[in-house]
C-alpha cells in the first residue's frame, strides 16, 4: 500500500483523507497542531471502514511528524482559510510562516515524497515549499487548476443544461482573481464551447469561475470551500500514486515555459509517478497570451512585494 501524509486536518485535509481512504488509494497519516483532532478524525474514518468496506489505515498525529516516514505523497492543507472580505493575498504572511515550518519537517521525514500544495495563496506557498524543502521542482506541485477548471466546467454545464460528465475545462494562470479560463480548450465531448455559446455568455461564466472561491466563502460565512478542493487534490494524488500520467492544469515552477521564469503558475502539466513529468506549452492566441501575461505578472509582482524570489 502506498502512503500519503496529509498536513492539516481541517475541512480540506480531512475531506481529502476520507476520499483517499474510501478509494483505498493509500494508507494515510494526518498531522495537525490541534490536540486530539487528527487522531479523532482518523479513528472516525477507520470506524467507517466496516460500513463503506475499505481497510486503508488512517492515523492521526499532533505535532509529531515521525509517522510520515516513507510517504509517497504529502499534501499540505495546513494554514488559515480565507474569511469573508479577506483576499488570498492577505493570507500570505501567516501561511508562509506555517509552510516554512512544515516544509522543514517534510524534508526531514519524507525526503522522497511528492508534495502537493493546497494552502493559499497557492502559487506563493508552492514556491515557499519548493525553496524550503530544496526538492526538485517536479516534486512540489500546486493544486489550483483542477479546482478552477472544475468550477468553470460546472458553470458551463449549468449554462448549457448538459451533464458535466462530458465537459472538460482548462483554467490556467495564478490561483486568484487573474486566473485565465480558456474557452478554446474547454470542451463538451470534444466540441469547444466557443462553438456552443456566445462570447458574452462565456465572459460571464469565466468571471464567475474567477470569483468561484469568493462566492462560496460568502455563502458559508465562515471558512472556505472544501468539497471540490479536496476532490481536486485527490485526483492529482491518485495520478501520482497509480502512475497514471494525467494531464491537469496545475501550478508548476517555470523555467522559461510560456516565457516565464522563477515562479509558480498554473499551466497544463502531465502528472504521474514521481510528480510533474512535463509542462505542455500550448500555442496561445494573442488574447489568451495577454490574459496569461497579466496573471503571471500579478503572481511575480506579489512575489516581489512579499520578498520572495
Active site residues: 175
As given in the structure block, the three cell numbers for residue 151 are 468550477
CA distance 35 to 37: 6
Smallest gap from Cβ 289 to ligand APR, in A, equals 28
Please, which residue, 87 or 189, has the CB nearer to ligand APR? Answer: 87
SS3 253: strand
Please, which residue, 63 or 189, has the CB nearer to ligand APR? Answer: 63
Please, which residue, 120 or 154, has the CB nearer to ligand APR? Answer: 120
Please, which residue, 4 or 7, has the CB nearer to ligand APR? Answer: 7
As given in the structure block, the three cell numbers for residue 210 are 474567477
CA distance 309 to 131: 9
Smallest gap from Cβ 109 to ligand APR, in A, equals 13
Residue 279's DSSP bridge partners are 269
Give me the helices (H) in the chain, please. Answer: 11-22, 37-46, 49-52, 92-109, 122-133, 145-160, 199-210, 212-220, 227-241, 286-305
Smallest gap from Cβ 171 to ligand APR, in A, equals 16
Please, which residue, 7 or 241, has the CB nearer to ligand APR? Answer: 7
Smallest gap from Cβ 47 to ligand APR, in A, equals 20
Site of grid cell 511575480: 300
Q: Which residue is nearest to ligand APR (CB)?
A: 10
Taking 3-state DSSP, the helix, strand and coil percentages for the chain, each rounded to the nearest 5, stand at: 50, 20, 30
Could you tell me which of 279, 196, 271 has the C-alpha nearest to residue 240?
271
Length of the chain: 309
Binding site for ligand APR (CB under 6 A): 7-13, 31-34, 77-79, 81-82, 98, 101-102, 118-120, 223-224, 226, 229
Smallest gap from Cβ 36 to ligand APR, in A, equals 11
Question: Computed over its alpha carbons, how large is the radius of gyration of the chain?
Answer: 19
Smallest gap from Cβ 99 to ligand APR, in A, equals 8
Say which DSSP state 113 is in. P
Number of Cα atoms under 13 Å in the Cβ half of residue 283: 0
Please, which residue, 7 or 202, has the CB nearer to ligand APR? Answer: 7
As given in the structure block, the three cell numbers for residue 165 are 460528465
Amino acid at each position: 500500500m502506498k502512503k500519503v501524509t496529509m498536513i492539516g486536518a481541517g475541512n480540506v485535509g480531512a475531506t481529502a483523507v476520507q476520499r483517499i481512504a474510501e478509494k483505498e488509494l493509500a494508507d494515510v497519516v494526518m498531522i495537525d497542531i490541534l490536540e486530539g483532532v487528527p487522531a479523532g478524525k482518523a479513528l472516525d474514518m477507520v470506524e467507517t471502514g466496516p460500513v463503506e468496506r475499505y481497510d486503508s489505515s488512517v492515523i492521526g498525529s499532533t505535532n509529531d511528524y515521525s509517522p510520515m516516514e516513507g510517504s509517497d505523497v504529502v499534501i499540505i492543507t495546513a494554514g488559515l482559510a480565507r474569511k469573508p472580505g479577506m483576499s488570498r493575498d492577505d493570507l500570505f504572511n501567516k501561511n508562509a510562516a506555517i509552510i516554512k515550518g512544515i516544509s522543514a519537517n517534510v524534508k526531514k521525514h519524507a525526503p522522497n515524497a511528492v508534495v502537493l500544495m493546497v494552502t493559499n495563496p497557492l502559487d506563493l506557498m508552492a514556491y515557499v515549499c519548493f525553496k524550503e524543502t530544496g526538492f526538485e521542482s517536479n516534486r512540489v506541485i500546486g493544486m489550483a487548476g483542477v479546482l478552477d477548471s472544475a468550477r468553470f466546467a460546472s458553470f458551463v454545464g449549468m449554462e448549457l443544461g448538459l451533464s458535466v460528465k462530458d465537459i472538460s475545462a482548462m483554467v490556467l494562470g495564478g490561483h486568484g482573481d487573474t486566473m485565465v479560463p480558456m474557452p478554446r480548450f474547454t470542451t463538451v465531448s470534444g466540441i469547444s464551447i466557443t462553438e456552443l455559446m456566445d462570447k458574452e455568455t462565456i465572459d460571464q461564466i469565466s468571471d464567475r469561475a474567477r470569483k468561484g472561491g469568493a462566492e462560496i466563502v460568502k455563502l458559508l460565512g465562515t471558512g472556505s470551500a472544501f468539497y471540490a478542493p479536496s476532490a481536486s487534490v485527490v485526483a492529482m494524488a491518485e495520478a501520482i500514486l497509480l502512475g497514471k500520467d494525467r494531464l491537469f492544469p496545475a501550478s508548476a515552477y517555470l523555467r522559461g515555459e510560456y516565457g516565464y521564469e522563477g515562479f509558480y503558475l498554473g499551466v497544463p502539466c502531465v502528472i504521474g509517478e514521481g510528480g510533474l513529468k512535463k509542462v505542455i506549452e500550448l500555442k496561445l492566441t494573442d488574447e489568451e497570451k495577454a490574459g496569461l501575461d497579466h496573471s503571471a505578472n500579478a503572481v511575480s509582482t506579489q512575489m516581489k512585494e512579499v520578498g520572495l524570489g
